[in-house]
Structure 1
Amino acid sequence: MRNYWMLFFPFLFLACTSHYSMHDFEKVKKIDMHVHLNTASTFFPALAFHDNFTLITLNTDAYSEDIVEQERIALVLARNFPDKIFYLSTFSMNDWDSVYWADSVLARIQ
């Protein structure tokens, strides 16, 4: 009774008749959901766009780059490439144990 699920495997493989080749790489739309575009240079985005990628750049408090500067760069790139670059912002963890931390983070987000 437990092994009946194994009967479905052949059907799963038969359903996978279409496939991609390297010739399709530039044609297939792709999303890179985890990049850190910390420069306004368009070299990497241009390469990604050539390969049909949409980019989602992540800002983080872990880098030495200031989060305000990261967001500025992300906004510039997102405005220059509105259908191809998106970003996720972050907030500072400095003074996270302060009673004012949540209010300061909310004020920055708003």
Structure 2
Amino acid sequence: MKSNNTYHIEVLVGEDEPPENALKRFRWASKSTGVVQEARRRQHFENTQDEKKRRLKDGHMKKSKKWIPPPRFEDVVTTLESPPFADLFGEPSDIFSEGKLQPNGNGNGKKRF
């Protein structure tokens, strides 16, 4: 059964390529796969509380890299237009209008429903 945390890093060296360049590419490949970080993490025992903290921290880091700022008000609202269906709702005789208060008979000025 194969483990999920196995790494296979391969660097092909050209015939006239200096070994320093191949070593540099190998180091970059091993760093990008996370082998060193995983080995450092496994040096000491990690209890469940520490594991939860680490996973939470990793999640925050991943989230922050993918974070997209919300659109600004100026980008969303380019022109001042009336809200949809404003021509249908908003008449003084409309009981659902949020305009003037209509007296309900006892003179306190509340809306009639």
TM range (shorter): under 0.3
Answer 1 or 2: which has greater strand percent: 1
**Structure richer in helix, relative to its length:** 1
- State the TM-score, normalized to the length of structure 2: 0.24
TM-score, structure 1 as length reference: 0.25
- Which of these two proteins has the greater Rg computed from alpha carbons? 2
